[in-house]
Structure 1
Amino acid sequence: MTDHVEVPTRMLVHALVREDGTVDADELYTVAATLGMSDQQVRLCIKRLVAEGAFTHQGRGRKALLHATTDTTDAFGPTAEFLRHAFRQDAGLEPWDGVWHLAAFAVPESARKARDALRDTLVHLGGASLQNGLYVSANAWEPYVEEAAGRLGVLDALSLLSTTDLRKGDTRDPVELARRLWPQREIADRYHRLGRIAQSRLERLTGPVALSSAELVTTAVELAAELTRAMDPDPLLPPQFLPRPWPGAQARELVARCWAALYERDHGEAMPTIFPRYADIAREAAATHRGG
């Protein structure tokens, strides 16, 4: 394999959350060991997650059961929605409607922590700064922005608007605006790496060598880790804004094919426990691609 994949312990815990919101500690320790993590790393990570309120803990050692809190499981929803939206964009099913979505806020210095958190959320949702306190997205992000502002207690300081006539200086062409506002080269570089990793894993998965259950689970977690690294900073710009071919679409196709191969190799026994929402969406995308 050409690229080493660093999997954070926290991400591994999230990867093993089952549909009922639980994580089996024995499975967690087993997969962690396969990934080269020590039991101490896992114990410290569990302790931090429980202290943060992300999980509750029942039992001891390998017989323990972790329960994801409501906030944790709710956070998986938008991530899955964004992944499905990305695959639909790749398939040409989400054409841009020509509308820019803007969010403006004026949060006082006395609420700096909430102001910074709102700004970080806007960037995480794919927003780009037009000027101080004003962010723009090419996608309809209003429900997510309002939820974040409400949760942070600054909803009254938030203004939302949309327009089909956006100009920055003397630039109004959408493609040029997208090039100026978002770091497309950096985003592309992350997808190039994801594509290399997915290609190497796909060759193993479709090759003649038998792979153990632990190896299959490890591959799934590695793919999830790299997919997250590539997609978290991706604003999911409409395809017509991006260079062709776009490495994001190519990398996601390879990931989808990997997940389909994982499921086929595993016969559906272990893979549903690895980011089940990711797996379902990726396998659907692979099936659509084969059908096309």
Structure 2
Amino acid sequence: MIDHVEVPTRMLVHALVREDGTVDADELYSVAALLGMSDQQVRLCIKRLVAEGAFTHQGRGRKALLHATVDTEDAFGPTADFLRHAFRQDAGLEPWDGVWHLAAFAVPESARKARDTLRDTLVHLGGAPLQNGLYVSANAWEPYVEEAAGKLGVLDALSLLSTTDLRKGGTEDPVELARRLWPQGEIADRYHRLVRVAEPRLERLAGAAELTSADLVTTAVELAAELTRAMEPDPLLPPELLPRPWPGTHARELVARCWAALYRRDHGEGTPIIFQRYADIAREAAKAHRG
């Protein structure tokens, strides 16, 4: 039995953006139906995205064309950066240098919203709290942290530092620190689910049965949704700090094989931009690893 994947309508729209920045409404409604979404659900989502300025809308109904704004297209960038880093880690191309990267901030109560957003951003970037206003990452995250603080107008309240000598309480062993600071069990469970989702879809893609364009896109969207659920809370800790074997490595390898099979099925024609980028990233890492 193939595990059902819940795909948020908003994610579906973003996932179907093509190289020219457009989303074909007919394809959107067709894929949405295969995912169990109603036309009304899709219409309301489009209305919200247009109201937010994420897309512009041209035409009506299934003949409509959505155009992603520049900010919406750029939103794919950081995701691609982190995915590229993950595949390079999996291939052994990003060994840990033993450096911990810390970010400290002291934002006043008058800027509470910016302070809370910065805190959430640090966690999203893979940070873990050491104490109030002090977060740590095992990866060099400084450009992303500075960019976020700058956009929030709190760059002057931010301090960045790095060290090879980190202790929390009586713990200084890096592996034990990583185990205490990040919920590795919960993250591993998400990757185990991704494996359960990817395996039967890979078998289907590698089989001889004919699949329609809508079938292929639906499979790609399901994989992207489950990969996002697995990777969003993942701090992408260096392999040296993780249990072996780490399920994230196997899960991403399966998803990469699915992308390769999807590409062979449609020859790359009309593939949404996000999947082209994902497939390119997986190929880059594989080529570098072999080289």
Taking structure 1 as the reference length, the TM-score comes to 0.95
Asked whether the equivalents of residues 25 and 64 of structure 1 are also in contact (C-alpha less than 8 Å), the reply is yes
Distance 1:146 1:274 in 2: 26
- Shift of the alpha carbon at 1:217? 1.0
8 A contact 1:260–1:282 mirrored in 2: no
**Where does residue 255 of structure 1 map in the other structure?**
255
Aligned to 1:76: 76
Conserved in 2, the CA contact under 8 Å of 1:24 and 1:66? yes
Map 1:189-208 onto structure 2 (within 5 A): 189-208=189-208
CA shift, 1:21, in A, is: 2.0
Residue number in structure 2 paired with 1:52? 52
The answer for unaligned runs of 5 or more in structure 2 is: none
Q: CA shift at 1:124, angstroms?
A: 0.3
**Which whole-Å CA distance do the structure 1 matches of 2:21 and 2:91 have between them?**
31
Aligned residue for 1:91?
91
Provide the C-alpha distance between the structure 2 equivalents of 1:47 and 1:61, rounded to a whole number of angstroms. 12
User: Secondary structure at the residue paired with 2:209?
Assistant: coil
CA distance in 1: counterparts of 2:111 and 2:49, whole angstroms: 26
* Cα pair 1:90 1:249 within 8 Å, conserved: yes
Cα deviation code 1:151-207 (max 9, x no counterpart): 111111111111111110111111110000000000000000001111111111112
Distance 2:202 2:76 in 1: 25
Which range moved further: 48-57 or 225-234?
48-57
1:78 is matched by which residue type in structure 2? Answer: P
Q: Share of identical aligned residues, percent?
A: 88
Q: Could you say what secondary structure the match of 1:200 adopts?
A: helix
Deviations 1:205-254 (A, max 9, x none): 11222222211111111000000000000000000111111000000000
**How far 1:63 sits from its partner (Å)?**
2.5
Comparing 132-141 and 202-211, the one that deviates more: 202-211
Unaligned runs of 5+ in 1: none
Where does 1:31-180 land on structure 2 (aligned, <5 Å)? 31-180=31-180
| 1:61 Cα offset (Å) | 2.0
Work out the CA distance in 1 between the residues paired with 2:71 and 2:253.
Answer: 30
**Residues in 2 aligned to 1:36 and 1:265: alpha-carbon distance in whole angstroms:** 24
CA distance 1:253–1:288, change in 2 (3 Å): farther
Name the counterpart of 1:25: 25
Q: Supply the RMSD in Å over aligned alpha carbons.
A: 1.7
C-alpha deviations, 1:106-136, integer Å up to 9, x for none?
A: 1111111111110100000000000001000
Deviation at 1:57, TM superposition (A): 2.0
Distance 1:69 1:112 in 2: 29
Asked if the contact 1:102–1:162 (Cα under 8 Å) also holds between the matched residues in 2, the reply is yes
For the Cα contact (< 8 Å) 1:128–1:182, is it kept in 2? yes
* Contact preservation (8 Å) 1:18, 1:276: no
How many residue pairs match? The answer is 291
Q: Which residue of 1 aligns with 2:187?
A: 187
Match of 1:229 in 2: 229
